């Protein structure tokens, strides 16, 4: 008896892109080990993939957490999920930006930290950052056919399902690299807070404030003047909120003041004095719950590392009609809005100065040490050139 012929699954067509010289990626092998230079002589792009030459990447707090072993991470991986770069190759069927337009070789772009399938129940519900088949740049183990997975590299292989946003040539790379994490997360947090207060943020790319600003009349407290908190405070102030940003670090408060923000020490934040509290540090959750007034909202966005549980006065939340909400990462629309903000109203602020040092890729270990140091700037940059 003859066996039935079984046709093997149709292989996904790949577009081979040889790289001469080879792309260099700095692979992280585990806690306490130096990064290892990995040479990738070519990539195989799937139908809607894109290959980007990195212009600059910035080191986010979660990269530091990975290196310090404070979060679980598979090895080997390529760190880095805050980058700006230029498309140098596209898969056979091309790729589209978040605005729906075909991307072209030569486009300057930023991209999402997440790769989402777009088909699962969570993607269908708009929770693309929690896709059932999620992959994340800077966090995923290197695998066959996907080696260039992070921004600590000369190139990044963007897979189909990545939100890609074209960005203007005129903006400095140091202002754009953080868009893919800090800026987009800040936008998502403020946007959530506005919704919880019954408001909607205005067009991020508008160069002039809207006639009626979304957070007009709102007392807003932002806990933490790291890059997420600082950016969220600027967005909230641009939307008309009366914003106070709190941070224990005097140098961070001084930097926030350069953005026109009122920056105070944590002990100077009034209890029950805010309509909207954004907790962007992960260290002030209890204080955030104490700071919110009756009917207000607390958005938690900084708690992205393991920490002790926070005692919660449920009665105060109930009697105070308080809403507590969590925000993690962001959607494609929020990334687009964040990039639009940087290119629009955000360009008048000294965001590029948040990158206090830019080191060559080969010095990535030193860059990580600086980013983890007590006196670290908000961001340390890496550039392959």
Spell out the long-range contacts of 261-264 with Cβ–Cβ below 8 A and sequence spacing 24 or more. Answer: 261/230, 261/233, 261/234, 261/237, 263/225
- Spatial distance between the Cα atoms of 70 and 193, rounded to a whole number of angstroms: 28
Q: Which stretch binds Zn ion (CB under 5 A): 36-44, 55-63, 192-200, 296-304?
A: 55-63
- Spatial distance between the Cα atoms of 57 and 55, rounded to a whole number of angstroms: 7
Nearer to Zn ion by Cβ, of 62 and 202: the residue is: 62
Nearer to Zn ion by Cβ, of 22 and 117: the residue is: 117
Q: Which of residues 172-201 bind Zn ion (CB under 5 A)?
A: 181
Strands across the sheet containing 219-223: 262-264, 242-246, 219-223, 274-279, 292-300, 323-326
Nearer to Zn ion by Cβ, of 60 and 153: the residue is: 60
Q: Could you say whether residue 123 binds Zn ion (CB under 5 A)?
A: yes
Q: Could you say whether residue 205 binds Zn ion (CB under 5 A)?
A: no
Count of residues of this chain found to bind Zn ion when the rule CB under 5 A is applied: 8
Q: Which of residues 137-176 bind Zn ion (CB under 5 A)?
A: none
Q: Could you say whether residue 256 binds Zn ion (CB under 5 A)?
A: no
Q: Could you say whether residue 333 binds Zn ion (CB under 5 A)?
A: no
Q: Which stretch binds Zn ion (CB under 5 A): 48-56, 122-130, 197-205, 260-268?
A: 122-130
Q: What are phi and psi of 74, to 5 degrees?
A: -80, 145
Nearer to Zn ion by Cβ, of 15 and 70: the residue is: 70
Among 57, 62, 149, 162, interactor with Zn ion by CB under 5 A: 62
* DSSP-derived 3-state class of residue 68: coil
Q: How far is the CB of 313 from Zn ion (least distance, A)?
A: 31
Q: How far is the CB of 29 from Zn ion (least distance, A)?
A: 21
Q: Could you say whether residue 60 binds Zn ion (CB under 5 A)?
A: yes
Here the tokens at position 96 are: 């589209």
Q: How far is the CB of 331 from Zn ion (least distance, A)?
A: 12
Q: Can you give 143-180 as a three-state secondary structure string?
A: ECCECCCCCCECEEEECCCEEEEECCCCCCHHHHHHHH
- Spatial distance between the Cα atoms of 226 and 255, rounded to a whole number of angstroms: 10
Q: How far is the CB of 116 from Zn ion (least distance, A)?
A: 5
- The torsion region of residue 358 among left (phi > 0), alpha (psi -120 to 50) and beta comes to beta
Q: How far is the CB of 185 from Zn ion (least distance, A)?
A: 7
Report the interface residues with Zn ion, using CB under 5 A. 60, 62, 116-117, 120, 123, 131, 181
């Amino acid at each position: 008896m003859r066996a039935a012929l079984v046709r093997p699954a149709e292989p996904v067509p790949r577009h081979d892109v040889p790289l001469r010289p080879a792309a260099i990626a700095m692979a992280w092998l585990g806690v306490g080990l130096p990064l290892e230079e990995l040479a990738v002589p070519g990539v195989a792009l799937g139908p809607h993939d894109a290959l980007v030459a990195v212009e600059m990447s910035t080191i986010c707090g979660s990269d530091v957490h990975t290196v310090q072993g404070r979060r679980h991470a598979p090895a080997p991986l390529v760190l880095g999920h805050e980058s700006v770069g230029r498309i140098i190759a596209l898969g056979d069927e091309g790729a589209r930006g978040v605005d729906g337009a075909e991307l072209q070789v030569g486009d300057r772009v930023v991209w999402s930290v997440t790769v989402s399938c777009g088909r699962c129940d969570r993607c269908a519900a708009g929770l693309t950052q929690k896709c059932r088949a999620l992959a994340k740049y800077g966090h995923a183990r290197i695998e066959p056919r996907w080696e260039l997975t992070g921004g600590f590299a000369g190139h990044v292989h963007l897979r189909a399902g990545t939100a890609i946003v074209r960005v203007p040539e005129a903006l400095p790379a140091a202002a754009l690299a953080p868009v893919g994490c800090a800026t987009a997360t800040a936008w998502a947090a403020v946007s959530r807070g506005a919704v919880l207060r019954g408001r909607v943020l205005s067009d991020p790319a508008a160069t002039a404030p809207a006639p009626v600003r979304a957070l007009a009349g709102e007392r807003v407290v932002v806990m933490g003047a790291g890059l997420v908190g600082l950016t969220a405070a600027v967005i909230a102030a641009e939307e008309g909120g009366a914003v106070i940003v709190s941070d224990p670090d005097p140098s961070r408060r001084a930097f926030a003041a350069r953005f026109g923000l009122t920056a105070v020490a944590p002990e100077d934040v009034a209890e029950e004095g805010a309509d909207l509290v954004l907790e962007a540090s992960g260290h002030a959750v209890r204080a955030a719950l104490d700071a919110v007034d009756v009917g207000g909202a607390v958005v938690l966005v900084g708690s992205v590392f393991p920490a002790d549980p926070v005692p919660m006065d449920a009665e105060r939340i109930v009697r105070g009609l308080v809403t507590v909400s969590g925000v993690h990462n962001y959607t494609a629309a929020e990334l687009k809005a964040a990039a639009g903000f940087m290119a629009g109203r955000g360009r008048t602020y000294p965001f590029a100065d948040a990158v206090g040092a830019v080191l060559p890729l080969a010095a990535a270990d030193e860059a990580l040490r600086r980013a983890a140091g007590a006196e670290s700037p908000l961001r340390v940059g890496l550039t392959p050139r």
